[in-house]
Chains A and B, each alone.
Chain A
């Protein structure tokens, strides 16, 4: 489906606040609090959640041998419910070999190439989303727990700077919408606080799964900014910052959004 890009109502006085303020910890709300009861019910019932189809694909893939090494994820890690419990809640994490943080998709692809000796999955591919959803769902209900790792600090700071920087023809920062105006209406949608704790999600409008970066790209096009490519360092930095901002909130992966 293709629609004219851009947020529906903008440039308006409705989003007037100037100085951005961090949301106090006890006022944080999950994205599920900003969707309709029907969509939320879909997310909360595994027999009705359309993201479960992808999650189950991920479960099958976990045990499929692949690549030059002919090893499955499970061959090295054992059953995911045990080995992957709480893992997604800690990502992005610092990766020594790459001397940079990697997000969960990046780690999955690192194992694809370095361990399985297979080709990396493409961004937003069904396989990468399925494995991310499956691994993510092993952290369901656990708190978002970004590592207390000094090596992440500079990346987080860069992410925060990007968050607050005005971008696009509409000249809005992420913070102006998500810190200062959450809960207000933008067109028909409520502006959520932009927490990453349900990703990857099934979006009804996409008629399929999508990653947090796809959501970032949507918001960037919404303010008529040129979106960074998938996997861009800027996106990883934003993810590091958003994980910190959502620390302690329960993981809800895989979420459902309109």
Chain B
């Protein structure tokens, strides 16, 4: 994961990521072998950190306990940081275990950010672990994780 060569660099999925994929829940159910696995997630995390194992601290992933739909899961990530000097989060990457590809999003902060926090909505085809990894300016990495349980709606669309 390279650092943000602005403006608007293109993201090209690697071949392996394309093959490993299968996003879309239907595809997920048909081809469970195409899911990102825990190992894939670990690989993606190590790719983000350049091989450094992140320390489990300072990063919080917040997802509501009760989830009615995997199509849009409110997700909040935040890092305890003064956002000054070396205690500064340059980027924060979100990973998941069971979607077809382990990467979800990478947030990039700046001196104007004020806080290392972001909220978004993500797709989750299944109950799984979500991990966030913070990259600090001093080259250290921190991580936090949450286990998420997704239930399916009662009514399924037939068309």
- Do A and B have CB atoms closer than 8 angstroms in the complex? yes
Q: Which of A1, A2, A7, A227 contacts B155 (CB 8 A)?
A: A7
Highest count of chain A CB atoms <10 Å: which of B26, B74, B155: B155
Interface contact A37-B64, CB-CB below 8 Å: yes
**Chain A contact surface mostly:** loop
CB neighbors of B among A35-49 (8 A)? 35-39, 42
Classify chain A's interface size.
20 to 34
Q: Across the interface, which residues of B come within 8 angstroms of A188, CB to CB? A: 68, 151-154
CB neighbors of A among B25-44 (8 A)? 25-26
Classify chain B's interface size.
20 to 34
Chain B min CB distance to A229 (Å): 11
Highest count of chain B CB atoms <10 Å: which of A4, A35, A204, A219: A204
- Cβ of A20 < 8 Å from any Cβ of B? no
Interface contact B154-A9, CB-CB below 8 Å: yes
Q: Across the interface, which residues of B come within 8 angstroms of A206, CB to CB? A: 157
CB neighbors of B among A220-255 (8 A)? 221-222, 227
Interface contact B64-A7, CB-CB below 8 Å: no
Q: Which of B71, B74, B153 contacts A207 (CB 8 A)?
A: B71
Q: CA A36 – CA B72 in complex, angstroms? A: 13
What is the total of A-B residue contacts with beta carbons within 8 Å?
83
- Cβ of A24 < 8 Å from any Cβ of B? no
- Cβ of B139 < 8 Å from any Cβ of A? no
Interface contact B26-A186, CB-CB below 8 Å: no
Q: Across the interface, which residues of B come within 8 angstroms of A9, CB to CB? A: 154
Interface contact A204-B69, CB-CB below 8 Å: yes
With contacts A1-B24, A1-B25, A205-B71 taken as known, whether A38 is within 8 angstroms of B64 at the C-beta atoms is yes
Chain B min CB distance to A214 (Å): 8
Q: Across the interface, which residues of A come within 8 angstroms of B67, CB to CB? A: 36, 38
Q: Across the interface, which residues of A come within 8 angstroms of B72, CB to CB? A: 50, 204, 207
Chain B min CB distance to A50 (Å): 8
Residue in chain A with minimal CB distance to B125:
A1
- Cβ of B8 < 8 Å from any Cβ of A? no
Interface contact B152-A5, CB-CB below 8 Å: no
- Cβ of A218 < 8 Å from any Cβ of B? yes
Q: Across the interface, which residues of A come within 8 angstroms of B71, CB to CB? A: 1, 204-205, 207
Beyond A3-B157, A7-B156, 6 additional pairs, beta carbon < 8 A = A1-B25, A1-B157, A6-B156, A36-B64, A217-B158, A222-B154
